[in-house]
Amino acid sequence: MSFEHPLWQEIQLGESKTLEFKLQLPKADQLAKTLIAFANTSGGKLILGVDDQRQIIGVQGDEFDLMDQIASMLYSKCEPTLLPNIYLETLQGKTLVVLQVHRGSQLPYYLKSQGREQGVYVRLGASNRPASQEMIHELERQRLLQSYDEQANWDIELDALDLTPLLLAFEKAGKPLDPARMKSLKLIRNEHGIDRPTHGLMLLLGLYEQAEIKCSRFKGTSMAVFLDKKEYRGDLFTQLAQAEAFIKNHLHLKAEILGLQRTETYEIPIPAIREALINALVHRDYSNAGRDIKIGIYDDILNIVSPGGFPNGLTLDDVLKGRSEIRNKVIARIFKELGFIEQWGSGINRIRTLCQQAGNPDPAIRESGDFVDIEFHRANKAEMETPGGEIGGEIGGEIRESGGEIPVQSDLTERQSAVLALINQDPHITQRQLATALGINGSAVQKHLDKLKAAGAIERVGGTRGYWKITP
C-alpha cells in the first residue's frame, strides 16, 4: 500500500527544512538554489511530481530524459559540483523523480552566476534564503572543522584581561587553570609567537556585546505588557545564575503536606530549566553581534529562544535521537570540564525526562528560522492544586532546592536576587568572589549582604571561616 510507503508518509508531513516538492521541474536557477541550500544546511530531498496539496500527480514525459536534464542543469549552475542521488519512486501508480542531496563537505556551495559572495543559499524552515556574510564565514569554518570561539582575537592583549571569573569557576570545581591548561582548552592561541585570547575566552568572560541574556515577564499570554524586565551581561557563569534566579522569581510554587512533611516544588523542574539555559549558552551562534538569548515568561509558557538554529546541519529529529554537533567547541569544553554538561547529546533528552518525571508535558522544541525555541508549559491554578496541598504565589513565596532555601520577596533588587542565587550555589562563597561574579566593588557587596541579613533572608554561620545560610 502506498500509504505505508516511507516516502508517502514523508510527503504528508509537508515541506520542511529537509523536504521540498514540485509538480514540475523548476527553472534551472530555482532548482540549483534548492539543492545548494540543502547541501549547505542539513541535506534534503526535492521530489518532482507532487502538487502543493501533497497530492501524488507524477511526472510527465520520459523520466530518464528528465533525470539527464537535471544532472546537466546542476553541473552548469552549482559550484563546487553537486552530485545528488537522482532516482525514481512509484506511488499510487505514478512515477516521481527524487533528488536527494546530503550535506556537503566542500562548504559553502553557491550559484555560479551570482558568485561566492552573493550566491550562497541556506535552508531556513521550508524556504531557501541567501546566506549572510556571517553564515558564509560559519560555513567556511565548518569546512575547516573550526569553530568561531576557537579563533584568536587580535585586537586585545591577553595581559589586559581580568581572568578572575574563570579562575573562580575552576577553583570552585577544584581544578587548576594555568597558562598551559588554558592553551590545551583553546582559551589561548599562540599566533606568530604571541599568546592571544580566543573568542571563546572573551565570550566566557562576557566581553562581547552578544554575550547577553534578556529576560522578560509579560502580563497574560502576549508581549503587549511588561511586568518585569532584566538584561544580564558579564561572564557566562554569572549570567546563568542570574537568569535562573529571574525565572525562579516568576514561577509558581506548589506545596504539599505529606504526613508531617511539607514539600514545595516549582511548576517546572528547575534542573530542566537549568539544562535548557546551559544548552542555550553553549550552542547558540555567537558570530553575529546583533543577537542574544531571550527568555520570555508568560502566564501559560516559559520560552527560551537561542539564536542560530541547530548547529552544523542537525535537524530536530537528530537532536531528539541524541546526536550531538557542537557549534562552540571552547565554551562546550569549559562547561563540560566544570560539570555543567554530563555527556554530549544528552541535554534535550534530559530536559524531556525531567519534565516527564515531574508529571509535566514535554516541552515544545522547534527550529524557527535561524533560532531554536523551547517552550515549557506552565501550570494553571487548577493544575497546581493537589490533595492536601496549597498554591504558592509567584512573588512572596519560597524558592527551595537541594542547595538551600531562597526567600523571594517583591522588594529584593536585581543585585540582591543575584547574590542569593550565588550563595545558594556556593554557601562558602566569599565577599571577594561575590564582587567578582557580580562585577561590583566589595563595599557594594557588603551593603547588599547587610540588607539581606536585615530582611532575614540570610545569616552568617561561623564568622570569617564560616558559611552563609539561607533562612526560610
Segment 66-80 mean pLDDT: 94
Which tens digits make up the pLDDT trace of 99-149?
Answer: 999 999 999 999 999 999 999 999 988 999 999 998 999 899 989 889 999
Give the model's pLDDT for residue 313.
Answer: 82
Q: What is the pLDDT of residue 340?
A: 92
Least confident of 8-22, 71-85, 256-270, 319-333: 256-270
Give the pLDDT score at 459: 85
CB–CB of 213/292 below 8 Å?
yes
What is the model's pLDDT at position 261?
66
> What length is written for the chain?
472
Q: Residue 265: how many CA atoms within 13 Å on its side-chain side? A: 19
When mean pLDDT is compared across 40-49, 253-262, 384-393, the lowest value belongs to: 384-393
Other C-beta atoms within 10 Å of 135: how many?
24
Can you tell me the distance from the alpha carbon of 160 to that of 156, in angstroms, rounded to the nearest whole number? 7
Can you give the pLDDT at residue 345? 65
How far apart CA 315 and CA 466 sit, in angstroms, is: 49
DSSP codes, 224-235: SSEEEEEEE-S-
User: Which one-letter amino acid corresponds to residue 95?
Assistant: T
Dihedral of the alpha carbons of 2, 3, 6, 8, in degrees to the nearest 10: 80
At 390 the pLDDT is: 37
The mean pLDDT value for 318-331 works out to 87
Name the band, by pLDDT with cuts 50, 70 and 90, for residue 316.
confident
Average pLDDT over residues 235-243: 96
Question: Residue 441 class from Cβ within 10 Å (0-12 exposed, 13-18 middle, 19+ buried)?
Answer: exposed
Say if CB 97 and CB 85 are below 8 A apart.
no
The yes-or-no answer to whether 2-130 and 210-393 have a common fold is no
When pLDDT is averaged across residues 39-61 and rounded to a whole number, the result is 94
- For residue 9, give the C-alpha cell: 508518509
**Domain formed by 395-472, architecture:** Orthogonal Bundle (1.10)
Q: Is the pLDDT of residue 253 over 90?
A: no
Q: Which regions of 143-186 does DSSP assign to beta strands (E)?
A: none
Cell numbers given for 146: 573550526
Q: What is the pLDDT of residue 394?
A: 40
Helices and strands in the chain: count of H runs, count of E runs = 17, 23
For 340-354, what is each residue's pLDDT tens digit? 988 776 788 899 999
pLDDT given for residue 408 in this prediction: 46
- The predicted pLDDT at position 422 comes to 83
For the residues 287-316, what does the mean pLDDT come to? Answer: 91
**Mind listing the pLDDT tens digit for each residue in 139-181?**
999 898 899 999 999 999 999 999 999 999 999 999 999 999 9
Residue ranges of the domains in the chain? 2-130, 148-204, 210-393, 395-472
Specify the pLDDT at position 398: 35
Read off the DSSP letter of residue 156: S
For residue 368, the model assigns a pLDDT of 81
Q: Identify the DSSP state of 119.
A: -
The DSSP output letter for 155 is: S
Q: What's the CA gap between 398 and 382, in Å, rounded?
A: 20
Exposed, middle or buried by CB within 10 Å (0-12, 13-18, 19+), for 444?
Answer: middle
Write out the CATH class of domain 2-130.
alpha beta
Contacts of range 432-435, beta carbons closer than 8 Å, 24 or more positions apart:
433/168
Average pLDDT over residues 225-243: 95
Residue 354 has which C-alpha cell? 525531567
161 close to 204: Cβ distance less than 8 angstroms: no
Stated pTM of the model: 0.72
| Amino acid found at 290 | G
Q: Which region among 1-10, 247-256, 262-271 has the lowest average model confidence (pLDDT)? A: 1-10
pLDDT of 472 above 80: no
Confidence of residue 339 (pLDDT cuts 50, 70, 90): very high
In angstroms, the CA 398 to CA 255 distance is 10
What tens digit of pLDDT does each residue of 357-376 get?
999 999 999 988 789 999 99
Relative orientation angle of helices 431-438 and 414-425, to the nearest 10 degrees: 130
- Give the pLDDT score at 81: 93
> Alpha-carbon distance 186 to 197, whole Å?
9
| Residue 120 near residue 110 (C-beta atoms within 8 A) | yes
Instruction: Tell me what the pLDDT averaged over the chain comes to.
Output: 87
- The pLDDT tens digits for 427-469 are 888 887 787 777 777 778 888 888 888 888 888 877 666 778 8
Classify domain 210-393 at the CATH class level.
Answer: alpha beta
Which residue type does 130 have?
A: P
**Which amino acid is residue 40, in one-letter code?**
N
Question: Taking residues 215-229, what's their average pLDDT?
Answer: 94
SS (H, E, C) 29-55: HHHHHHHHHHHHCCCEEEEECECCCCC
At 377-430, the pLDDT tens digits run 998 755 554 433 333 334 333 333 334 444 444 467 778 888 888 888 778 888
Three-state DSSP state, 98: strand
Helices (H), 94-178: 115-118, 133-143, 164-172
